[in-house]
Chains A and B, each alone.
Chain A
Amino acid sequence: MNAPAQHPPAVRTTCPYCGVGCGVLAKPDGRGGAIIAGDPEHPANFGRLCSKGSALGDTLGLETRLMHPMVRDGDALRRANWDEALDRVANGLSRIVTEHGPDSVAFYLSGQLLTEDYYVANKLMKGFIGSANVDTNSRLCMASSVAGHRRAFGTDTVPGTYADLDEADLIVLVGSNAAWCHPVLYQRMIANQRERGAKIVVIDPRRTATAEDADLFLSVEPGMDTALFCGLLVHLAETQVFDFAYIDAHTTGFAEALIRAREIAPDIKTTAQRTGLAIADVARFFDMFTSTTKVVTCFSQGVNQSAQGTDKVTSIINCHLATGRIGRPGMGPFSLTGQPNAMGGREVGGLANQLAAHMNFAPADIDRVGRFWNARAMARREGLKAVQMFDAIERGEIKALWVMATNPAVSLPRAGFVRDALAKLDLLVISENVAGNDTVRARADVLLPAAAWGEKDGTVTNSERRISRQRPFLPLPGKAKPDWWIVSQVARRMGFADAFDYGSAADVFREHAALSAFENDGTRDFDLGGLATLDDDAFNAMPPVQWPARAGSAKGDTRFFADGHFYTPDGKARLVAPEMPRPQATLSAEFPFRLNTGRIRDQWHTMTRTGLSPRLGGHLPEPFVEVHPDDAAQMGLIDGEFARVASPYGACVLKVIVSEGQRRGSLFAPIHWSDATASSARVGELVTPASDPYSGQPEAKATPASIAQVAFRYRGFALSRQRLAMPAETWWARAAVAGGEGVLLASDVGPEEWRAWAQSVFGDCELAEYVDAPGAGYRVAAFMEGRLTGCLFIGPAAHAPHWDAVKALFETERLGEGQRRGVLSGKSTSGLAEPGPVVCACFGVGLNVIRTAIADGTATSVDAIGKALRAGTNCGSCLPELKKIVGEYRAQPA
């Protein structure tokens, strides 16, 4: 009766990682997991998936999930039912608003939320609580793109579509490691390069994987992108490739922008000086851009995560506006979004400086949205952006915070400060998938179990404005609920039942679409009017759809701005004069390096999901810092060893990777590790809170930092079926391993102490031990009823054991005898003959060896075995057995 269905249908859904928004086919396996494949019909990916997307099936386990509401009693969290938990949240928020005003509460949301979740949370805060203190981790991701778009276009509009990447003749990637961070889109660019001969230029301080296939790589000085694009604008002026008709008819600010560009980068030579590039390289780039009409400039976190991010975006857009290369096939500035639904969040208006549905805090907009919502208390001004929000929490001005689907104690700048600030709140509510992360551990008062990918139902929008469905294919586990439901329930309990009477995600989506169309009449870019009347079935079946999707208008080209119509008051685009570029924080003798942060190929954010996949954990299993060889030599750093990286805000200890791809003076460290996954690798703790004045986006890629060698005497690893608590003073990093977890170790704790630790950790198992006291080596493998349940390998740092072979054995769980005998060697035993039980003890000849010799005709008598294998020729005590073996073989039917 309960057997899993043999052929369950595959569910079409959307990948929950980057902003490419790939279509996924998920086929439930009936045992809580699913087989994952790319959706060949989805226009974002046409069936392709990257390593992270392909491994989604590995991340569906429930081991780490939060399954029940939890509420704080004194120092501990205990299980509660939904009523109690929701009352606690609603009453807490209401009380604090009553006592301290609406601005004493805040929501911190996430680009991982679905549009419907986002919409409901934004509505509650901005229309009913009466504050705009709604911000999101998208602030860390693409707020500068939003600000740059709004400043130039009057609205947050990505003009182009992915098809432009297929049709462009030149693709310029600025501050984008698309090969790792948007792999499927990057492969589309590479296909264009291969098949159509498109040229690719990569502009990045770091020679990333994306630079590998570039026709030109420009290792730009950190923060100097604006100088490069100002130089380009000047060059475009001098070579007279401007589209003066477009400039005159559809833009303002051109003269001021060009004058400023001339101040910043008057010629190629100055541009080269300011950007730290070779004159010839700059000239080549300018020439390529000048001579190619179909050019798309993609930009990502290298542009956005800057205290001058908005100006960087502006300087790029200026070049496209001035050449009229915007909104036409194969042309335009293109923001590659980091998160699966940062775009949906922007559409909803789930940022502190937006109101809703691409409307702002203009009185007319406030009035319009207020009427639409039938709002009790409309927010009348912008709220606090992420960094300021946590400053206000620290100052005690914000007393209640609700965090949904993000881990700010890891990801925000000065993450240590953030974690301490969280502990000051009167009420910290967290809606989460996982039972434990660094934010949850920062003294949460209420934990609410939220639906995860595969369970959630709603929509997301990708980088090309394409709305796709995330559909559930797994049941909600435990007491988990969708975020929109959780927020609505709280709203009802706060007395707003009539405005939050949603029965489904489809209800929310229709209202969201209706708001976008409400009194729009073409005045706002964002219009889903054509989708506002979808019935439930149509919503469920909705194919990926690009906006605008205005009611009654035929589906045509979905690109923006080729017609020169913008959403500014005068309908014209703005060319804006950027500030002189410079990183906000200056280097000093104490902090002489610039710390750049970013993603790696196979991990996502703080690893609460990708960290569950053994495949993904294998790529770069340890938190690291990349250093240029000259800097490494100067600082005494050695590849594969460790370094302490510090800034005025904190310190981490990371593995050193010496790389030619790193710029001199720059350090790079990935953002993914947290206190849950490593001993000292919460890189966010180091990042400066310096932020862009327009976007509020922090400068996550240019923190002044120091680096110094850290030496550990011993290195090693542990594997275990259960979570292991590491001894203090040990450097460690966890990685998912099939059937358990792995921990990479470095320590000054000696082998004898590790032996005692292992015996206490694995004490109830059968232990196999390797003790090399003079070589300072200790290895132990723990077995329970024949199953390998754990192991620890420790050796001198210079001679560290490797875990590949042991991991493979750990994953097979049940070891053959030869494997078990060899497991502590740390080497693969595969390919080694299994000699079998000893027959001749004197010469160590095993049964399998003898049988093989008989079978292949090498030796078919006892005497011949003696000659060939020496078996039986010493003490002879095995001769009777040899006779028997020969006899048995002869007795076998041929």
Chain B
Amino acid sequence: MSEPLVIIGNGMATARLVEELNTRALGRYAIAVIGEEPRLAYNRVLLSSVLAREVSYGDIELKTAEWWRAHGVTLLYGHRAVSIDADIRRIRLANGATLPFAKLVLATGSRAIRPNVPGMDLPGVITFRDLADVAAMEQAAKTHKRAAVIGGGLLGLEAAYGLAKAGMEVSVIHLMDRLMERQLDPRASAMLKEAVEAKGISVHLNAETAAIKGDRRASAVALKDGRDIDADLVVVAAGIRANSDLAATAGLDINRGIVVDDHMQASKAGIYAIGECAEHRGVCYGLVEPAYEQARVLAAHLAGDKVAYPGSVLATNLKVSGVNVFSAGDFLGAPGTEQIVLSDGGLGTYKKLVLKDGRLVGAVLFGDTMDGLWYSELIRSGTAIGAMRDDLIFGRALAERSLPKGEAPKPLPQILAA
């Protein structure tokens, strides 16, 4: 008999986990997926593209209903799990039903943090996490002109871009002195600001939100420095927090997220967490790639393979059309590292590689991100750069050509290595 495996959360990590389980452990588990959103799993990364009308709603569905059916998955979407009893291995749903499990995977994702300032609960103030938010923003764009996005990180900029494409006048309000400071160095940030502004979006840096003003609806974002940024729609994209309330009901260890080990197992046997709700070695990842890596590791583990998740090298890609940004690893360059910089003002490109002890440890790319993945693989694998050093910044094709035949390092993802 197949073991009952229940996955809570119907997002990108879940879709990848099911896909991986089907190749690694076909038929070993009877899988049920519980999802709160009333629809099939979709590609959350593309929300801003939907908003920007570059992609239709249908296009972002990860798998068709037939696919889920064909893979024998019981889909319970539109259902919210309210508690977990780890001892009797049962889940209680909001409608009162209970579901037994032998193995449980929590893939509950994260939610936006709302700054604790007055006016956050006004109509017209929304977050940017799901298709419902996109629908609300589209609706607002039809009736209102001005939008403000609080947060100049990856998500905030994607939201701002989507809103601008949808026809709104958009201001980005960012607490720090530069955009995407967690992914970019000052020079790339400055180039990004120019590129964002060139798309008609105004950027306010060093801008701390004091309150959302408005009577029946938001009308402006008041900054601590006294300025008011007029806005009929305020999108809050100032960070995320792991969804761990459900995990708490199971008595699992929770820190910033659900604490997991290198097999993605939480503090109780047979219960796992992957994606943005999980905290591995003190890190909560907010990107899709680590979630996919975790899904692969967990699938292998559940299939009985000996694998371990070493953590992910963070690699960032901004999904703003025409603005290619990438960063990975130690992109700022800690003391003791070396930097090589290549820039072309005319092409609007900037590349910085950070080296340490003959290895690549970080990269920032602006404009030309073609080799981003290669760099992140080199960083992840710790491959010795050797003779490629001087050509590295010019990309993989050129750098590997200059090596003697057969000496090209083959940096492959190391996660599945035994």
Contact = CB atoms under 8 A, between A and B. Distances in A.
Interface string B364-397: 0000111111100000000000000111011101
A820 B347 contact: yes
Interface stretch (B81-89, B222-230, B333-341): B333-341
A822 B398 contact: yes
A5 interface: no
B32 interface: no
Contacts of A876: 43, 45-46, 62
A401 interface: no
Contacts, number: 119
B406 interface: no
A844 B374 contact: yes
A880 B55 contact: yes
Nearest to B318: A841
Contact of B391 (A767, A825, A838, A846): A825
A772 interface: yes
A835 B393 contact: no
A887 to B, nearest CB: 13
A831 B401 CA distance: 10
A799 B387 CA distance: 12
Interface string A742-783: 000000000000000000000000111111111101000101
B46 A769 contact: no
Contact of A820 (B46, B54, B344, B374): B344
A46 interface: no
B346 A768 contact: yes
A840 B390 CA distance: 26
Interface string A814-836: 00010011101101010111010
Nearest to B56: A880
A243 B99 CA distance: 126
Nearest to B288: A875
A877 interface: yes
Interface in A765-805: 766-775, 777, 781, 783, 786, 799
A768 B397 contact: no
A484 B49 CA distance: 80
A379 to B, nearest CB: 66
A1 B215 CA distance: 79
Interface string B78-114: 0000000000000000000000000000000000000
Contacts of A875: 43, 45, 288-289, 317, 319
Given A766-B344, A825-B394, A879 B59 contact: yes
B292 interface: yes
B373 to A, nearest CB: 5
Contacts of B289: 842, 874-875
Interface in B9-64: 43, 45-46, 49, 54-56, 59, 62
B43 A775 contact: no
B344 A774 contact: no
Contacts of B395: 821-822
B402 to A, nearest CB: 7
Interface in B395-418: 395, 397-398, 401-402
A843 interface: yes
Contacts of A783: 346
Given A875-B45, A877-B45, A841 B349 contact: no
Interface in A849-894: 874-877, 879-880, 883
B343 interface: yes
Nearest to B317: A841
Nearest to B339: A773
B304 interface: no
Given A767-B345, A769-B342, A822-B394, A844 B49 contact: no
Nearest to A801: B390
B342 A827 contact: no
Interface string B216-236: 000000000000000000000
B206 interface: no
**Most-contacted residue by chain A among B289, B340, B368, B370 (CB, 10 A):** B370
Interface string A383-403: 000000000000000000000
Size bin of chain A's contact surface: 35 or more
Contact of A821 (B62, B317, B355, B368): B368
B288 A838 contact: no
A12 B347 CA distance: 51
A766 B348 CA distance: 10
A423 to B, nearest CB: 47
B166 to A, nearest CB: 17
B346 A770 contact: no
Contacts of B324: 838, 841
A123 B355 CA distance: 75
A774 B336 CA distance: 11
B326 interface: yes
A554 B347 CA distance: 75
A696 B359 CA distance: 67
Contact of A768 (B288, B345, B355, B374): B345
Contacts of A786: 346
Given A766-B346, A844-B369, A844-B374, A832 B397 contact: yes
Contacts of B319: 841, 875, 877
A766 B345 contact: yes
A821 B373 contact: no
Contacts of B349: 821
A225 B404 CA distance: 50
Nearest to A836: B370
A841 B343 contact: no
A38 B300 CA distance: 76
A821 B397 CA distance: 12
Interface in A613-668: none
Contacts of A827: 391, 394, 398, 401-402
Given A771-B340, A821-B344, A877 B43 contact: yes
Nearest to B396: A844
Contacts of A821: 344, 347, 349, 368, 394-395
Interface string A540-580: 00000000000000000000000000000000000000000
Contacts of A768: 342-347
Nearest to A781: B344
Contacts of B370: 835, 838, 844, 846
A85 B23 CA distance: 94
Nearest to A774: B338
Contacts of A832: 397-398, 401
Contacts of A777: 390
Contacts of B397: 832-833, 835
Contacts of B46: 876-877, 880
A775 B390 contact: yes
A824 B292 contact: no
A761 B355 CA distance: 31
Nearest to B372: A844
Given A768-B346, A841-B326, A876-B45, A774 B339 contact: yes
Interface centre among A766, A772, A783 (most CB of B within 10 A): A772
A476 B372 CA distance: 59
Contact of A770 (B56, B292, B341): B341
A405 to B, nearest CB: 45
B341 A769 contact: yes
A822 B289 CA distance: 29
A825 B319 CA distance: 29
Contacts of A879: 43, 59
Given A769-B343, A771-B340, A827-B402, A874 B391 contact: no
22 contacts: A766-B346, A768-B347, A773-B339, A774-B340, A775-B390, A786-B346, A821-B347, A821-B349, A821-B368, A821-B394, A824-B342, A824-B394, A832-B397, A842-B317, A842-B372, A844-B370, A874-B289, A875-B43, A875-B45, A877-B319, A880-B56, A880-B59
Interface of A: 766-775, 777, 781, 783, 786, 799, 817, 820-822, 824-825, 827, 829, 831-833, 835, 838, 841-844, 846, 874-877, 879-880, 883
Going nearest first, the 7 A-B pairs with the smallest beta carbon separation are A766-B346, A768-B344, A774-B338, A825-B394, A771-B341, A875-B45, A841-B317
